[in-house]
Every structure is written in C-alpha cells, then in structure tokens.
Chain A
Amino acid sequence: MVVTFLTIASFRFRDATVLIDIESLSLSFTFSAFTFIRSSLLLPFVYSSLKSPDIETWQRLDLLLDATLTNQVSSKASISQGSALFRIAASVFTEIPSLKMIRDASLGSSKELRFHHAPIFGLVCGLLGMDAETSQRAYLFVTLRDVVSAATRLNLVGPMGASVMQHRIAVVAETVLEKWKDREASEACQTSPLLDVVQGCHGYLFSRLFCS
C-alpha cells in the first residue's frame, strides 16, 4: 500500500506528536506506532516511579529520563506537561502532603531537575495508591486520547472518526501494554526511529497549530 504523507503535521498537543496520513489505515499505523513509542520508552519510567514513590527515586528517574528523551520536541513537551501535572496534583491532593513536599524540595534543589511527565505521572499514581496495571493503562489511555484529540483539532479526522479510530487502536494498545508493562527504567527503548526523526522536524514547519 502506498503511503503518502498528507502533511508532516508534526505537532505537539500536550505530549502528543503525530505523523498523519489521509488513508485511515495509515492513520491507525501512526497512532499504533506512537503508542508503541510511548510504551517502550516511557512506560518503564511510569512503572519505576510508581513502584517507589519517594523523592530520591523520582529525582533519579527525572535525570535519567532527561538523558533518554533526546528528542528536543518531545523533551520540552514532557517538561511542560510534567510541571503542570505536578503543580496541579500538589494543589488538588492536599490529603497527600508528600506531593507538595517533594515538589517544593525539588524546585529549590541544585540538581538539574526537569520535571518530566512520565515519572511524575507514576509518582502521583503511586502516592494515590493506584495499582501498577491501572496506572500504566491510564498513562497509555492519556497518550492515545491526546493523539486522537490533536488529530481532530487539526481537522484531519472528524470527531466521530476519531472515536472509531481510538476504539480500534485500544485493542492494539492493550497488547502493547501487556508487552511493555512492569519494566524497570533501564529497559526503556525506542522502537520507531522514523517517528523520532519526524518529530524532531517540528521546528522546521512553516506553520504550526500547537506550540513546540
């Protein structure tokens, strides 16, 4: 099947970056490929963080992820989303004072912490007492939802079509979750280098709907 790029609409919506093709089959390839990347690269960080939700582990994982997320576009998105999540979680879940405590201690720290999204997601889930499988599934859900939502915003697929697609991909996402769940951060890897290359091209686009 000939795959043509409609537009390298490489963008970020929260932490989503998508390579879109008009053929719906290719669109689902993109979504599935993207789900793979997030699983193999970031799910291990979510898992490692929620397994031991304490300040030392979280700071170590944050620095580790910063060295691992070498794609600038992806990295900035992760930092932006992670900072926001941490800020909100610390304010909302006042019954868990350690969230605010860890955040305050880290903001003032001399270490070059970045506040990446995946470890913070895991930290919050861990402190909330969510089990590992639910937390990792939630992370994948958020990723898939963001990607589909971004495609809708770019008018590349209608809201109904997006829902159909998300439902179809959910099956794939479950399989992917089975494969990549419950792994330590040291096992993180990327499985779709092509998408990595394309995502890095975000800054070269003439016009962008979302900020980088």
Chain B
Amino acid sequence: MATGKVVVEKIRGRSTATSCFSKYPLKFILPTKVAPVGTDVVWIYSITYGGGIVSGDSISCEFTIGDGCTAVLTTQSSTKVYKAIGSKCSEQTLEVMFLSHVCYNHLSCARIGSESLLVVVPDPVTCFSTARYYQKQNFRLLSDSNLVLVDWITSGRHANGEKWDFEFYKSINNVYLEDDKPLFLDTVLLEKRNIQSIAERMQDYHAIAMVILFGPKLRELQKQVQENVKNMMSEQLQISYSSRRHNPDSRVRNGFMKPEFIASCSTFGPEGKGVVVRIASDSTESVYNFLRQQLGDLEPLLGQSPYA
C-alpha cells in the first residue's frame, strides 16, 4: 500500500488536489498561500517525520496529474538518510501519472493528452556515513505533458568530515511516454564497494545534480538554460585554457584549476524535445543559486520561483 497518494485535477477550471493521503513516515502539506491568488497551481510539500529517512524506511508515493493542471512537488529541507542498521536499505519510490480524461471516457476520442505541468524541485538527498538509500521515480507522460525534474545529492555532512562516505546510493529516474515508450531512463549508482572509492570518483566535488526539462510549455526555458550553460562553461573553459598557455614551465600544471562548477546540457527524446542538465559543484550553495537562476522563469506559472 502506498505511503502517500495525491491526485490533482481541474475542478471548476482550477488545479485542485482532489485526493491527498499520507501515512508515517511521510506527510504532505499543501499550503495555499505559496502562490499569489489567481495562479493556477497546487504546491505540495513532502515532509518526513524527523527530517530524514532512517534505516529500513520504505516510502512509496503515487501522484496523478490530470488534464491541464499544474503542480509543484518539493521538500521542506534536504532529505537526510541516516546510517544503515545492518544491511537494511532505505527506499523511496514515486509513481507519477499524467492522465487525460480521454483515458476515463472511451467514447471521447478527439483530445490527445493533457497540457499539464509537474515541477519536482526537492532539496538534495544527503546520505550520512554508512547510509544505504534507494530511490525510484517513474513518470508516465503524454506527449504534451510538461515535466521539470530536479534530482540531486550532496556528499554528506562536511562538518563531521563525511565526504561521500555512505555505503550505497541508487537513484532511478524513468520517464515514459504513451504505450510505455521509454523517453528518458537514468540510473545513478554510487556504491562503496567499488574498486575506486566514491570520493575518488567525485574528485573534490560535493554536489551532483540533474535537471530534466520536457514539454511544449518549457521550450523557451529550455533554450534559455542551454544558452546560459553554454556561455558560462565556454567562458570557464577558455579562461582556464589560456592561463595554462601562459605558464612557461610545462612541468608545473597548477595553472589550470578545476572549475568550481561544471554543467552541461544534452537534448533527448523525439526531435530533441527534452533537455537534461547535469551539474557537478564543489558547494551545495552554488547549485541552489544555479537552480534558482535557471528556473526563475517558472515563477509566472507557479506563483513562486523554485528554490527562492
């Protein structure tokens, strides 16, 4: 049985949560004052009791977004995954379905898909030392659904000296179109037992993030983000390159310093309709800044900028 379930549908022309259920250790809060009056959006905060997930917790959620609705799913603070007891793993699964009323009524055949928008903008997952965490998020879209998905992880509690010190982290994000057609399948696995430690693989970066933008409503945003990332990275890479050239001693390579923030964009899906941005940064703060800046254009649709 699901730990949490939310259904958002259009009632009298407004996006409304018609069903909202959650049980321990999960709680949903749907504040109505996040967006200015008149904005058609439902904000859903997902909270875990105690501010984190303990060993053996298993949280599964189902979200259904109806025709033309807009919903934001976010967290109150970073999801902390506490240390594992034995080999128990903590897990979270999320199933999201975008439904068109066409599915319910077999006589109607004119409309294809909904024009809904789901924005998933959580705080990052932070796994403490020896933690084990598994997360699976499935999204079933119609071809004109819109999705903004942010999924990210930080290296742990720096103050305690924990740097990528957890046992196991697996995050699966699968996006499907109609008829179970795979659109975007991504699984990130960070496991301690590999030949190379996670910290080595991450070098000195402390946060890894992924942002997916898909859907016709997000076209302008996609273009803007791609342009911004390209400008930002081209500048960084060219500066670093020229500082190396000026260093006469070829044995001393310290001239080229690692960029503190790296991002790259790729398109995916039919006709490149989707954009994925991958980010590596040496601080969580700079990722927040980046997300705030890049997703700021969503404010008119959501009533508030994500990560404000």
Q: Which residues of A contact B (CB under 8 A)?
A: 3-8, 22, 29, 32-33, 36, 40, 63-64, 67-68, 70-73, 75, 112, 172, 175-176, 179, 188-194, 196-201, 203-206
Contacts and interface: CB of A to CB of B under 8 A. Distances in A.
Contacts of A201: 233, 237, 262, 264
B160 interface: no
Contacts of B1: none
Nearest to A171: B195
B138 to A, nearest CB: 13
Given A7-B256, A191-B201, A203-B264, 10 more contacts: A3-B258, A5-B257, A22-B253, A67-B182, A70-B268, A190-B187, A194-B280, A199-B264, A200-B265, A204-B233
A200 B276 CA distance: 10
Contacts of B204: 3
B200 interface: yes
Contact of B195 (A5, A112, A175): A175
Query: Which 8 A/B pairs are nearest by Cβ-Cβ distance?
Result: A200-B264, A72-B266, A189-B187, A67-B182, A204-B233, A189-B189, A197-B278, A197-B280
A206 B244 contact: no
Given A5-B240, A72-B267, A200-B266, A29 B200 contact: yes
Contact of A206 (B196, B234, B276): B234
B108 interface: no
B122 to A, nearest CB: 17
Contacts of B234: 204, 206
Given A63-B182, A201-B237, A206-B238, A193 B280 contact: yes
Given A5-B240, A194-B201, A206-B237, A73 B266 contact: yes
Contacts of B201: 33, 36, 191-192, 194
Interface residues of B, number: 49
A65 to B, nearest CB: 9
Given A64-B185, A190-B186, A193-B278, A5 B264 contact: no
Most chain-A Cβ atoms within 10 A of its Cβ — which of B187, B204, B265, B266?
A: B266
A68 B187 CA distance: 8
Interface string B178-192: 000111111111110
B241 interface: yes
Contacts of B244: 6-7
Contacts of A176: 195
A204 B230 contact: yes
Nearest to B193: A179
B23 interface: no
18 contacts: A3-B203, A3-B258, A4-B257, A36-B194, A67-B183, A67-B268, A68-B182, A191-B189, A191-B191, A193-B210, A194-B202, A194-B205, A197-B262, A201-B264, A204-B233, A205-B237, A206-B237, A206-B238
A189 B135 CA distance: 13
A191 B194 contact: yes
A205 B264 CA distance: 12
